């Protein structure tokens, strides 16, 4: 479980996050949504420690990340898997080497055991016969799946996904969404997904946090978000003409 307590963050004079608190439970897909520039990526970076917070605390199962020293933070980071927007696979390594990499760094498994684990993770994300390929030789959707495989290789307790569907076609997006949901339930991980893809939200969002201009504006489940009369959420969820027409029919 991850708890955010009164997180605030500014860049210079510009306040990006104001007093955000929330709880993300394990075994659930927690989604942070909001318009571009609303502060959701900054919030994610604060949660994983890529940005520091001005005030507030991030608790990973009760451990306050920002109160820990370098080594303490490193221990928490070893429990984190992250899926970046562009995959962030290492260009100089093959698909298999990318998945093996965290295992080589943090485990004492033999070469064969690492290979077996990498193959298991790649099979889990439905990838076969791509082990020897480099990231530049595979499609965007495959890169995301390799990144998921790399993230789950060390059996993380927390999984963060930054815009997992950006740049993907609708069908591949569904594949990625389903994978995230299955993995979350299967390994009982605390998953936090940053997105502005409403299809994903409706499809897999167990808990949704809506950020508006750096503030926590709304929080709830996927059924509630469709029924809310909050004007900012309605503007966001039903942004397109098609969605507006759909809403008027129901």
Partner 1 sequence: MRLFYHFGRYYLLLKRTFRKPEKVSIYRARIFEEIDSLGIGSLGIVAIISVAMGAVITIQSAFNFESPLIPPYAVGVAARDSLILEFSPTIVSLILAGKVGSSIASELGTMRVSEQVDALEIMGINSASFLIQPKVLAAMVFNPILIIFSMFFGIIGGYVFGILTGVVTDYEYVLGITYEFRPYNVTYALIKTVVFAFLITSVSSYHGYYTQGGALEVGRQSTKAVVYSSVLILVFNFLLTQLLLV
By CB under 8 A, name the binding residues for partner 1. Answer: 48-50, 74-78, 80, 82, 84-86, 88-91, 102, 104-106, 160
Give me the least distance between CB of 11 and partner 1, in Å please.
Answer: 13
Closer residue to partner 1 in complex, CB, 144/216: 144
Beta-carbon contacts of residue 134 (< 8 Å; ≥ 6 apart):
91, 93, 94, 95
Closer residue to partner 1 in complex, CB, 77/217: 77
Give me the least distance between CB of 88 and partner 1, in Å please.
Answer: 4
Give me the least distance between CB of 81 and partner 1, in Å please.
Answer: 8
Closer residue to partner 1 in complex, CB, 66/106: 106
Give me the least distance between CB of 133 and partner 1, in Å please.
Answer: 17
Closer residue to partner 1 in complex, CB, 28/150: 150
Give me the least distance between CB of 209 and partner 1, in Å please.
Answer: 20
Closer residue to partner 1 in complex, CB, 45/213: 45
């Amino acid at each position: 479980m991850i708890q955010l307590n009164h997180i605030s963050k500014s860049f210079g004079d510009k306040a990006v996050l104001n007093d955000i608190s929330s709880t993300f439970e394990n075994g659930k897909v927690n989604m942070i949504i909001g318009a571009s520039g609303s502060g959701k990526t900054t919030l994610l970076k604060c949660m994983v420690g890529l940005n520091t917070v001005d005030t507030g605390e991030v608790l990973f199962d009760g451990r306050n990340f920002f109160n820990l020293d370098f080594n303490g933070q490193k221990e928490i980071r070893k429990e984190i898997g992250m899926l970046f927007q562009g995959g962030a696979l290492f260009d100089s390594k093959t698909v298999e080497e990318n998945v093996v990499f965290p295992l080589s760094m943090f485990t004492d498994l033999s070469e064969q055991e690492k290979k077996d684990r990498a193959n298991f993770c790649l099979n889990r994300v439905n990838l076969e016969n791509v082990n020897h390929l480099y990231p530049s030789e595979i499609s965007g959707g495959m890169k995301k799946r390799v990144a998921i495989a790399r993230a789950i290789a060390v059996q993380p307790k927390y999984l963060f996904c930054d815009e997992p569907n950006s740049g993907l076609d609708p069908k591949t997006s569904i594949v990625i969404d389903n994978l995230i949901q299955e993995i979350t339930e299967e390994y009982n991980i605390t998953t936090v997904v940053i997105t502005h893809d409403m299809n994903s939200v409706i499809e897999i969002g167990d808990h949704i946090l809506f950020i508006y201009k750096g503030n926590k504006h709304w929080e709830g489940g996927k059924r509630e978000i469709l029924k809310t009369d909050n004007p900012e959420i309605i503007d966001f969820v039903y942004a397109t003409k098609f969605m507006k027409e759909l809403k008027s029919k129901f």
